[in-house]
Amino acid sequence: MFTFTFTGNNQLHKMERMITDGPTPKHAQLRQILERRIGDELKPGDPLPGERALEDEFGVSRITVRRAIGDLVAAGKLKRVRGKGTFVAPSQLVSRTHLASLSDEMRHLNVAASSRILTSDIAVPPEEVAEFFGTDAETPHVRLRRLRLGDNEPYAIDDAWYNADHVPDLLDHDVDQSVYNVLEEIYEIVVTEAEQIVSAVPAGNTNASLLDTTATTPLLHVIRRAVSETSGGATPIEYCTSVYRTDRYRLRTRVVRALD
């Protein structure tokens, strides 16, 4: 048995880790115990004890251990690394459909947010971006492409364009973290509304390399068109195309039926 330090009644915790015959299948009991251990005692990146160690600790079969671990891998709680073992997976980020930066969403869930800038320049944007900003096709705008990390693990890639008519020197400021905070604090621009289009796409070689996955892995693809609403009307500010790892990011919506 492993030795742990608990507060409160230690005997109670020992009982919670016992696998018994009963209406709840043994693999489900073991899954619950391992899930509590992941939440209370381990952190992302920590290794899970090997299958043989878990067999000996809980007095169960190899099949029971593998099924419990498989369920936790499927749920995004654990990840298998070929030739190395099983590890606690990075925290899964669940985004609600409200206006907040990815950095703010991560901090809300106690995930350490960081970014790696891949591209930052002033360039002529794609046609759809110029059309959204309401500028000529050859008018340059601010481009910022970043790899978004949580607890130093890759979560997403943002490829964003910002309206240079309103934020011409955006790249002179700290854009490693929340651009929305820079917009508010430096330019007094508050993003008040956005339209998001969500689909699924294969990662492809470039995204797969950055997100540490395979080229055929499906990613969540989100296009966001954001505006700042003021008394003078809606000003288009941001056109952002993002891809997210689906095992580390989910989008949650709440739909309400309008009654006449």
Pair (53, 102) in one structural domain: no
Q: Assign 205 a pLDDT band (cuts: 50, 70, 90).
A: very high
- Output the pLDDT for position 243: 96
Residue position matching structure tokens 């015959």: 21
Average pLDDT over every residue of 62-71: 90
**Assigned domain for 257 exists:** no
> Domain with 59 in it: what CATH number?
1.10.10.10
Q: Which helix H or strand E contains 205, and what residues bound it?
A: helix 204-211
Pair (116, 187) in one structural domain: yes
Residue 226 pLDDT > 90, yes or no? Answer: yes
> Domain with 243 in it: what CATH number?
3.40.1410.10
* Predicted model pTM: 0.65
What single-letter amino acid sits at 152? N
Q: List pLDDT tens digits, range 2-38.
A: 333 333 444 434 445 578 887 888 888 899 899 888 8
Q: Assign 145 a pLDDT band (cuts: 50, 70, 90).
A: very high
Pair (114, 60) in one structural domain: no
**Assigned domain for 259 exists:** no
- Which string of DSSP letters, residue by residue, matches 12-71? HHHHHT---SSSS-HHHHHHHHHHHHHHHT--TTPBPPPHHHHHHHHT--HHHHHHHHHH
Domain count, the chain: 2
Domain boundary among 88, 118, 151: 88
Distance CA 82, CA 77 (A): 17
The whole domain housing 234 covers 93-252
Pair (155, 120) in one structural domain: yes
Pair (18, 135) in one structural domain: no
Pair (34, 159) in one structural domain: no
**Assigned domain for 4 exists:** no
Report the residue count for the chain: 260
Sequence-ordered list of residues with C-beta below 8 angstroms from that of 85, at least 6 positions apart, any chain: 47, 48, 50
Residue position matching structure tokens 């195309």: 241
Domain boundary among 34, 58, 88: 88
